[in-house]
Structure formats: structure tokens, C-alpha cells
A and B are shown apart, each in its own frame.
Chain A
Amino acid sequence: MEKMTSQYRWGMVVDLDRCTGCGACVVACQAENNVAICGKKEISEGRNMHWLRIERFWVGKYPDVRARFLPVLCQHCQDAPCEPVCPVYASYHNPDGLNGQVYNRCVGTRYCGNNCPYAVRVFNFYNHEWPKPLDNQLSPDMTVRTRGVMEKCTFCVQRIRRAKEDAKSENRAIRDGEIQPACAQTCPTDALVFGNMADPRSRVAILSRSPRRFRLLEHLGTHPSIYYLKGGGREHV
């Protein structure tokens, strides 16, 4: 089978040396993608809906304790374990290398959620609601998911679609930096960089060749599209 039929292969670079753990990306993602609002109850039950989480680890011994942050979102694996286990093709691989998730196909077997080693898939255990006037903030570009379906980061596929349409109408390819997912757009330290990995001159591709690069759980052979950068120096936070 031909592996790629598109000139794009979307990917991201997360520079951990730049990340301050401020959480702006989490909020931006939540606002952009109509992610359900979860309170203390849901989060303590392990049913929070965040598509992007900042994992915080404490390293060192008191008094020299430092925080280390790891933003984790869907890794958009090329060999995604979540995809083939879905019995109804709700989770599939699109030609741009994205991990698609079709909400209205999903029957809620939660098999994909189990088989995701990064645990970035979130399930609508609750029938989430947006009481007025919160419903005014819902993005019209995104569906609102019902209870019983799985959802996850899409790399803001609605922005990618829009950029593709714009580019098509102007008869050109998408320019580097033209698309920014909400998280990358919001990041104050520019720790998140999004772009086309298939273009070797794109910023994201150049960064992904950095000697500081690594990928999460690389030993599993999932081939994530997200590269993390981490130098050997001391944590600065």
C-alpha cells in the first residue's frame, strides 16, 4: 500500500526547554475545540476531558526541587495502536498523517482509549452541557460531542481544512506557519511549533532534526508525529 497520498504530513515539535507549564495551551485547546468543561468532581474521578494536558513532575530533593513539565497531546502516531482496534472505523488514519476520529461513528467500545499508550483519548462519561450563556462560546467549526463517544486532539483539523481551502482557492500549497493549532498559537514561549513534516525546509522539520529531539515511548514503535526537544541542562523553572 502506498503510505502517503498527500504532500502534507502534519507534525509538531514541543520544546521542553521553553515550556513554562503555564497551561495557556490547555485553555486555548478547550476553547477552540468545544471541549467539555470539567469541575473538581469529574477531574477527581479521572474523567476530565482535556485533549492536552501538562504533566508536571517534581525532580530533585528538597530544598533543590524543580518542576518539570511535559505537555502531552495526541501524538498522531503513524503506526497508531488506537486505529486498527476500532470496530467501526471511527478512529482512522487520514492521508495527511493525522489520527482521525469520527464522532458520529463511534459506538463507545473504548478499545482505542485502552490501547493508546499515551492515554490522550478522553471519553464522554458524562452528558456534558454548556449552560447559558456558556453556549455562546461554542465554536461553530466544531461539533459538540455527545455522551458515550471518544474524542481527542485533532491538531485543530478545522483550521487545517480552512487553510487548505484558502490555499486551493489561490492555487498554491499551504505556506509554512500558515496553520497554527490553538495550543501553538497561544503558547507564550513558542514552545509548540506546528507544521508540515513532509517539507524538509519547514520550521517544524528543521527543529525535529535537532540533536535534542526524542519521541514519547519510542520503544513501542508507534512513530509519533510529535517530537519533543530537551537539552541536558538544568531545569530553569
Chain B
Amino acid sequence: MSEPILPAAKSSSQLNDEMLSSLRTPTWSWYALALFLGAVVAWGLYAFGYMLTTDMSCTGLNRPVMWGVYIVNFVFWIGLSHSGTMVSAILRLSRANWRRPILRAAEAMTVFTVAVGGLFPLIHLGRNWVFFYLIPYPNQRGLWPNFRSALLWDATAIFTYIIGSSLFLYLGMLPDLAVARDRSSGWRFKLYSVLAMGWRGAAREWAIFHQASTLMAALIIPVAVSVHSIVAWDFAVTVIPGWHSTIFPPYFVIGAIHSGVAAVITLMIIIRRVFHLEDYLTPLHFDNMGKLLLVIALLWSYAYFVEVQTTWYAHEPIEWEVFSFMADKYAFLLLFMIFANSVLPIVALCFKRLRRSIAVMLVVSVLINVGMFIERFLIIVPSLSHKNMPFVWGTYRPTWVELSVTAGAFAGFALMYTLFAKCFPMVAVTDVRELEAQKSVVRLSRTRLQSSAEKE
């Protein structure tokens, strides 16, 4: 829309154009993708509607396995949400400059995964239509929810997290929205004008903005840790063998970051390809994210080892029964999980050449998330299958309803993400340009400034 006059290797306008390319008018392939994802979501909704209108017998749940794939999904999605905001916040606080092109993708992922994950406890209810019994508000029923229940801690923590991570996403996007506003017209201009809140980029605004970003990053990290700890407490506070374990909260937090970082890498690869951002998401980014993933894979392996090792040594019969049942009935899943979550990433990510290979990173990151989904399944189902009373041991196999809802959730997440990418800047434009600007501001105008390139 405006003429590029600025002389530079890559002018600000060019940078804007390239990084805001996702906002261009959708192509037919985008519509095709959106339609496909919408169809899968509709199928998932149909499956849910079927369960809602008939009864829960269409699931694979039974006594004793009363929690199944829905809760696996809940833990999985809430776990995915972790690295988004948390990694972004940690990188912000540690001033890692390579974070800049990744931020938005990660933060947006958090918001949508929490949204999807937060739905699952409600989908899972036996009487979904009275879900509002769980909400604390004065009502004529004379009922109040029980804050001693871990499920209420979940609700509180997830509410906090979804508000916090949405605000964090919005805060990071504020200057980008102003740029998008200045380059748009029509409904987009109106939308961005409202969201940009009249941001002009005054020096004082920037000063306050930077302090607010740092503060938000510092505040959101402990919230993220608490959210997955509380999800872990859903299991750890019970008396169920295999669940009642003090290592669960840190183990779950590590697992959450593991799957989250992997998901960010997968999304980076997709975004890079789809929006042609090869210049911004370079092998350097994958190298750095690969190192992070390597550390987390090691931590995860350590936590898993600790959990199983103590149980194996103590050999407390009821608890050991759960583990041996899992290793027996789900041997393939267990081996696959250990391979995908631990062996493969640790081996592959040790090599710089593999970390810098997009194809390898795609395989590793996708397999980690498959492995993490299995891990949640193996935590939830075998423990319930072989609880304390051998007379009511059972098994569980998900049905088409549960699998359809799961597929709908994946498609729903992808659809929300696709829509978001079309409506909002997918790369933190101003953050990236700030880096460019800082590199060039070495000895300029009224002051001398150490360039950020020198700092590194």
C-alpha cells in the first residue's frame, strides 16, 4: 500500500511485507484446508452430539476405567500449551535474540491448545448439560463447588492460564497490530484499530511496553508451572496405585514442556513452509530449539527412570501390579513411547547436522508428540485397569466416538490456528525489525550504541 522509498539492504517495508504475508487474501488452497478442517471438526461435534443425546455407553469407559481418552486429551493439550508461553517467556527474560521470529507462533499455540484442552473435562462429564454446577456463582440451587476437589483447582488454574496467556499473546502483538493497522483498509483496518488501542509507538509507550513485557513473562512462568502441577495433582492426590506419586507434578511439567517444545518446532516447520519465511526461521533457530529439546528429553528420561525405578525396587505388590500389567499388555506402546520420547531425541539431537536438518527435526518433533500422547494414556489407563481390588480389574479400548472427538480436537486446533494466521501477524514483525534496527544502530545520531551483534 505504501511506496518503499527507504534505501536499505532489506527495507522496513520489505520486512513488513514478508513477515505479514500471512495476512494476504486467502488462496483457494487455504479455503480447501479450512473446509477440510471444518469438516473434521463437524464430524467430532457430531460424535460428541451423539454421545450427548444417547448416553455414555458409546464410549469405551467402564468400571474400573472411568477415565479414558478424553482425560488423555485433556492432559495432552494442557501439556502442549506449556511451551508456548513458557518457552517464549523464558527466552524473553534471558534476552535470547533468536527467539524473536518464534514468539508469536509459540504464544498463539498456547492459547489455542488451552482452549481445546479446557473443553475436554466438560466433554468428559456424564451430564455435560449441567457443567455450570462447577462454576462458583450464587445460584438458586443453593449449591457451591467444592474447592477441596482437585478438579476445582484445575478449573481455577486453567482459567488463570487462558486469561494470562491470551493477554501475553495480545501484549506481544500490540505493536504488530499497529503496523498491521497502518497497512490495511476496510474491516481489517477497523479490527486492528480497535485492537491496537491507538498505539503510536511513542518513546514513552515503548519504555512502558518493554517493562510490561518483562513483567508479564516473569508472571506467566510460575502460572504455567502451577497449571501442569495441578493437572498432575488430579492424579497424584488420589489413592490409586500408579497415580499416587510425589514425582508427578515435576514430571508432568517436564513432560508438558517436552511435548510443547516439540509442537513449537513442528509448527515452525509448517509456518516456515506455508508462509515462505525461510529467511526468518533459519537452521539456527532449529539448532537452538533442538538443543532445548535435547535438554528436556534428558530431563524427561530422568524423571521417568526415577518414577519406575523406585517402584521397581520397593516392589510394593499393588503398585507393581500396575506397572507389570502396563509392561505386559501395552508393551508395544511402552517401547514406542520410550523410543520416541527419549532414545530418538537424545541420539538425534546430539548432532548439529541433524538439528539443522528440517526433515529430521520434523520427524523427531512429531514423534515426540505421538509418544507424549501415549505416555498420558499409559499413565491413566493401566492404573485404573488394575486398581486395588483384583475382582474388578478391567481393560479399556476407545471407541469411534472418543477417537472422533479426538480427531475433531486436533482439527479444531489446526483450524483456529489457520484462522488466526490469516487474521493476525504470525511473526513478531516489530520484534524482528527491532533486532535489525539494533544491528544497524552502532554509532548514530546523538549517541554511541553497542550493537547487539557485538553483544552476542
User: How many whole Å from A41's CB to the nearest CB in chain B?
Assistant: 9
Residue from B67, B144, B148, B389 within 8 A of A72 (CB atoms): B389
Q: Quick one: which of A70, A84, A146, A148 contacts B148, CB cutoff 8 A? A: A84
The reply to whether the CB of B215 lies closer than 8 angstroms to some CB of chain A is no
- 8 Å CB contacts to A: which residues of B213-256? 234, 237-240
Contact residues of B: prevailing secondary structure: loop
Contact of B55 among A70, A147, A222 (CB under 8 A): A147
**A182 near B: Cβ within 8 Å?**
no
Question: Bound complex: CA of A124 vs CA of B125, how far in Å?
Answer: 12
Complex Cα spacing A122 to B56, Å: 13
Is B133's CB under 8 angstroms from A85's CB? Answer: no
* B384 close to A114 (CB less than 8 A): yes
User: Which one of A45, A88, A117, A146 contacts B389 once the chains associate, using CB atoms below 8 Å?
Assistant: A117
Give the Cβ gap from B70 to chain A, nearest Cβ, in Å: 10
Flag whether A115 is at the interface (Cβ < 8 A). yes
Q: Is the CB of A105 within 8 A of B126?
A: no
Candidates B62, B67, B240, B387; contact of A46 at CB < 8 Å: B62
Bitwise interface map of A from 90 to 132 toward B, beta carbon under 8 Å scored 1, else 0: 0000000000000001111111011101110111111100000
In the assembled complex, how far is the CB of residue B124 from the closest CB belonging to chain A, in whole angstroms? 7
B240 contact set on A, CB distance < 8 A = 114-115, 117
| B151 with A125: CB separation less than 8 A | no
For B384, list chain A residues within 8 Å (CB). Answer: 114
Report B-chain residues with C-beta under 8 Å of the C-beta of A122: 63
**Residues of chain A in range 29-55 having any CB-CB distance to chain B below 8 Å:** 45-48, 53, 55
Determine whether the beta carbon of B151 is less than 8 Å from that of A53: no
- Per DSSP, chain A at the interface is loop
Chain A interface residue count, CB cutoff 8 Å, equals 44
Interface size class of B (residues with CB under 8 A): 35 or more
Binary per-residue interface labels of chain A (142-161) against chain B in the complex, 1 for a CB within 8 Å, 0 otherwise: 00001111100000000000
Interchain CB contact under 8 A, A47 and B62? yes
B125 in complex: contacting residue of A57, A84, A109, A217, CB < 8 Å:
A109
Bound-complex Cα distance A149 to B128 (A): 11
CA distance A216 to B155 in the complex (A): 34
Q: Which residue of B lies closest to A54 (CB)?
A: B391
Specify which of B57, B155, B237 is in contact with A125 (CB 8 Å cutoff): B57
Does A220 count as interface, using CB distance less than 8 angstroms?
yes
B388 contacts the other chain (Cβ, under 8 Å)? yes
Asked whether B392 is an interface residue with its Cβ less than 8 Å from the other chain, the reply is: yes
Which residues of chain A come closer than 8 Å to B146, judged between CB atoms? Answer: 84, 86-89
B131 CB-CB contact with A under 8 Å: yes
A53-75 to B contact mask, C-beta < 8 Å, 1/0: 10101000000000000101000
B393 CB to nearest A CB, Å: 9
Q: How far is the CB of A91 from chain B (nearest CB, A)?
A: 9
Task: Point out residues on A near B: beta carbons under 8 Å.
Answer: 45-48, 53, 55, 57, 70, 72, 81, 84-89, 105-111, 113-115, 117-119, 121-127, 146-150, 217, 220, 222
Interface residues of B (CB under 8 A from A): 54-57, 59, 61-67, 121, 124-127, 130-131, 133-134, 143-146, 148-152, 155, 234, 237-240, 384, 387-389, 391-392, 394
What 9 A-B pairs are tightest by C-beta distance, nearest first?
A: A108-B126, A148-B126, A46-B62, A110-B66, A148-B127, A55-B391, A87-B151, A119-B392, A87-B149
